[in-house]
Amino acid sequence: MSRTVPAMPPLADAAERLRRLHHGGGPLVLPNAWDAASARAVVASGFPVVATTSAGLVNALGFDDHEQAPVDEVFAAVRRIADAVSDGVPVTADLEAGYRLAPAELVERLLAAGGVGLNLEDSDHHGPGPLVDAGQQADRIAAVVAAGRAAGVDVAVNARVDVHIRAVGEEGGRLAEALRRGRAYLAAGATCVYPIGVADEPTIAALVDGVGGPVNVLARPGAPSLARLAELGVARVSFGAGLMRSTQAHLAGLLARIKDGETP
Amino acid sequence: MSRTVPAMPPLADAAERLRRLHHGGGPLVLPNAWDAASARAVVASGFPVVATTSAGLVNALGFDDHEQAPVDEVFAAVRRIADAVSDGVPVTADLEAGYRLAPAELVERLLAAGGVGLNLEDSDHHGPGPLVDAGQQADRIAAVVAAGRAAGVDVAVNARVDVHIRAVGEEGGRLAEALRRGRAYLAAGATCVYPIGVADEPTIAALVDGVGGPVNVLARPGAPSLARLAELGVARVSFGAGLMRSTQAHLAGLLARIKDGETP
């Protein structure tokens, strides 16, 4: 990374817009895309930001989630998505736990791919896990934010808190641990905190009230409606691999009909 | 290309199986795939071959059809598709008019990507068009087949005849011109002839009867049913970008519902 601040006005503006949308009048709704065609569809439907789904994106490439895909393929796919939408549309990439890249390289590659935001999870895919130490993760987030600023782009980090989805510790202690981690990640410079796997209203409300910053909730069957999530003060709602899986189910239905001799 | 015949038993066997499936008891049905996930779905649904759709594949990458995509991206996508299915499954790639590659390089890159068959159309995307001279196209097909054999793989060429889709000449003369081209392409070594844009039974029957070899028909709303195409003696039925477009329509529906506040 260069020590001078390069001129990146389109990316800097897009990053600023993305971060601001976490403090708008209602939730930033992100129907996650997995390829250039789905990204174009998201924009054509009037959504202001394209967020990728890591599971959907790597499945479309033929790989499994959890950093099983070659990182070059992942960034190439993000690049195709950013190229497919117009310059002004912020693109935020789900980069899992960062594919073991150092923060400076992670940000450099994200910006080179046209992305201005990233999901970064505290699951430990390559260590004894389940989670990275909270202090280490906060330091990593701070280093990512600093690398972005050094490049002239204030990237939006959506800091995943995997306490609930990884069922860490006793159930009764998870909310407190998620709050502790979420606060640390916001203090480190994250734009938003994403406690994935939380779908019940009391826990969502406690997280929104207690974390002191924007919270991302995964929309899925069984989770509160978008209207209810807005009432609860949720700042960002994403769909993960849900839309990609729904289109795959639609395709499986078409294939079954063709197998039965139909021309759907 | 090496002058010796390299040992490529898996590809050679897959090519042989693909060619044989054009002479089976019923049509070879190809619900065309556009990425690794859709290719896996095709195989999981019990279809013996994966055929790509050029329009669907390049749209998923963010490009338009008709050789607007970088050829490296197209072959990389074919490679991902071949990698995503097991070795024994033949993969045949829609390579449009061959992206201006010389026959030897076209075949070399196809085999390197794991493909054993290709669509090759006689539309002239880069010349005064609409169609390449029939004799030149027959020579190109013969060179592709020869390059495959030199590499030890008897690739299956699905030779598109674009007389009808490009509305070449007077309507009354198109069948005769399609037959003339189809016969020339089969004589040059093509495995199958694909008169795209033909959907009416009399013309399909006349082509099957007159061309003297396997004929590919595009299945689409308005075309005869799969059972009727089988009765007409059609050897190969493909779906083009139809399934990809149907999944995109499904996605557009999901996005509209999300825009309306639903959580589909």
Residue in chain B lying closest to A250 (CA)? B247
Q: Name the 3-class secondary structure at B179.
A: helix
pLDDT of residue A3: 46
How close B137 comes to chain A (CA, Å)?
Answer: 32
What distance in Å separates the CA atoms of residue A175 and residue A181, rounded to the nearest whole number?
10
Q: Are B226 and B215 in contact (CB under 8 A)?
A: no
* pTM (two decimals): 0.95
Residue in chain B lying closest to A34 (CA)? B60
pLDDT of residue B9: 79
Average pLDDT over residues B131-137: 97
Do the Cβ atoms of B31 and A255 come within 8 Å? yes
The DSSP secondary-structure symbol of B212 reads -
Residue in chain A lying closest to B242 (CA)? A264
pLDDT tens digits along A16-71: 999 999 998 899 999 999 999 999 999 999 999 999 999 999 999 999 989 999 99
Those of residues 216-235 in B touching chain A at CB distance below 8 A are 219-221, 223, 225-227
Residue in chain A lying closest to B42 (CA)? A255
* pLDDT reading at A251 higher than 90: yes
Average pLDDT, chain B: 95
Do the Cβ atoms of B221 and A259 come within 8 Å? no
Q: Decide if A45 touches B, using CB distance below 8 A.
A: yes
Q: What is the ipTM for the molecules in this complex? A: 0.95
Mode of pairing for the β-strands spanning B192-194 and B50-51: unpaired
**Which residues in chain B are closer than 8 Å to A263, comparing Cβ atoms?**
219-221, 223, 225-226
Which amino acid, residue A19?
R
**Which residues in chain A are closer than 8 Å to B81, comparing Cβ atoms?**
62
- Return the half-sphere exposure (C-beta side, CA atoms, 13 A cut-off) of residue B117: 30
Q: Are A157 and A180 in contact (CB under 8 A)?
A: no
What distance in Å separates the CA atoms of residue B2 and residue B6, rounded to the nearest whole number?
8
Q: Is B257 exposed, middle or buried (0-12, 13-18, 19+ CB in 10 A)?
A: middle
pLDDT tens digits along B206-234: 999 999 999 999 998 889 999 999 999 99
Instruction: Kindly indicate the confidence band of residue A126, based on its pLDDT and cuts at 50, 70 and 90.
Output: confident
* pLDDT reading at B175 higher than 90: yes
What distance in Å separates the CA atoms of residue A256 and residue A258, rounded to the nearest whole number?
5
Do the Cβ atoms of A59 and B36 come within 8 Å? yes
**Which residues in chain A are closer than 8 Å to B83, comparing Cβ atoms?**
62
Do the Cβ atoms of A61 and B263 come within 8 Å? no
Do the Cβ atoms of A263 and B219 come within 8 Å? yes
Q: How does A56-91 read in b/e, with b if 16+ C-beta sit within 10 Å?
A: bbbbbbbbebebebebebbbbbbbbbbbbbeeebbb
* pLDDT reading at A113 higher than 90: yes
How close A188 comes to chain B (CA, Å)?
Answer: 32
